[in-house]
Amino acid sequence: MSFRADLHCHTIYSDGTDEPAAVIALASQLNLQGLSITDHDTIDAYKQVVKSDIPLLPGVEISAVFQGEAIHVLGYAFSPKNPDIHALLALQKQKRVERNFRIFEKLNTLGIAITESDMHVHQIGRPHIANYLIEQGLVGSIQEAFDRYLGEGKMAYDPGNRLEVSEVINAIHAAKGKAILAHPHLIKRKRILKNLLDLPFDGIECYYAKLFSTEEKPFVAIAEKKGWLATGGSDYHGSTKPQIPLGCSWVGQQTFEALYEHFLKNT
């Protein structure tokens, strides 16, 4: 089997359902030769990892905003001990707590009793709030929770006071990491994508979950034209998204080693 490294997955430290060690064990079992855990706005998973059978590239998926659109920026290859990455994540944590508080207030106004203490997770994300609404019998599925309450523009939506994409790229660069535009196919407004491509990213996520190669191709062409990294990964979340298995998208040896060698230089 040829070299495969999955550069996008989540653990219980954000809205995935597996422990970091379980994701690493699964990656080994699948014969992946490289992995990056990219939790939303946190690198706490890396504190739990004592050993990994396969090279583990530090990563994170940062929430940001660009021209009104929610954008995710992947950061890779920084040292997990870098103070600049910790400053960025502390800021993101504070913004998330404040946003969650406003979501709870909006749900309270709608007559739904919910507080932060109802959620027993490391870091609250909207999928956790959706699960709580299911437990309370208020909705039948995560999708229904987003469609009625939590999705963009819905009754309890709060956009959060997000950083600009350019600020996030600068912060990742300050931490000596590589900044990658995550899942660009999800950006529906083509003008926004075009404008984003003018920012100083180091790469673009071309291979993603179960995208067809015809859908990946235009992004690979953009990476080639710009001399950017063409990255990819599954966006595995565990049992909440059973249709997306770990390793269903990956990068080859050349891309993984470029990032991993950059990380080794930083440590």
Please identify, among the stretches 123-131, 171-179, 198-206, 215-223, the one whose residues bind ligand AMP according to the rule CB under 6 A: 123-131
18 binds Fe ion (CB under 5 A): no
d(CA 40, CA 183): 14
15 binds Zn ion (CB under 5 A): yes
Q: What is the residue type of 64?
A: A
Q: How far is the CB of 196 from Zn ion (least distance, A)?
A: 20
235 binds Fe ion (CB under 5 A): yes
38 in helix, strand or coil? coil
Count of beta carbons in the 10 Å neighbourhood of residue 26: 19
Closest CA to 167 of 94, 55, 239, 71: 71
Q: What is the residue type of 87?
A: A
- Compute the C-alpha angle 89/59/146, nearest 5°: 70
Q: Closer to ligand AMP at the Cβ: 15 or 216?
A: 15
Please identify, among the stretches 8-16, 25-33, 103-111, 211-219, the one whose residues bind Zn ion according to the rule CB under 5 A: 8-16
According to CB under 5 A, which one of 72, 99, 128, 162 is a site residue for Fe ion?
Answer: 72
63 binds ligand AMP (CB under 6 A): yes
User: Residue 235's binding partner, choosing from ligand AMP, Zn ion, Fe ion, none, with beta-carbon cut-off 5 to 8 A by kind?
Assistant: Fe ion
d(CA 69, CA 188): 9
127 binds ligand AMP (CB under 6 A): yes
According to CB under 6 A, which one of 16, 20, 58, 125 is a site residue for ligand AMP?
Answer: 125
Question: How far from the centroid of its chain's Cα atoms is residue 57's Cα?
Answer: 14
Q: Closer to Zn ion at the Cβ: 9 or 139?
A: 9
CB-closest chain residue to Fe ion? 72
40 binds ligand AMP (CB under 6 A): yes
151 binds ligand AMP (CB under 6 A): yes
Q: How far is the CB of 116 from ligand AMP (least distance, A)?
A: 13
Q: Closer to ligand AMP at the Cβ: 33 or 38?
A: 38
d(CA 151, CA 93): 20
Contact 236, 23 (CB under 8 A): yes
Which pairing describes strands 34-35 and 59-66: parallel, antiparallel, or unpaired?
A: unpaired
Q: Closer to Fe ion at the Cβ: 138 or 230?
A: 230
Q: How many residues does the chain have?
A: 267
User: Residue 16's binding partner, choosing from Zn ion, ligand AMP, Fe ion, none, with beta-carbon cut-off 5 to 8 A by kind?
Assistant: none
CA distances from residue 23 to 11, 46, 76, 222 in whole angstroms, order as listed: 7, 12, 18, 31
Helix (H) or strand (E) holding 92: helix 83-109
- Residue ranges in contact with ligand AMP by CB under 6 A: 15, 40, 63, 125-127, 142-143, 146, 151
Give residues in contact with Fe ion (CB under 5 A): 61, 72, 235
List residues binding Zn ion (CB under 5 A): 15
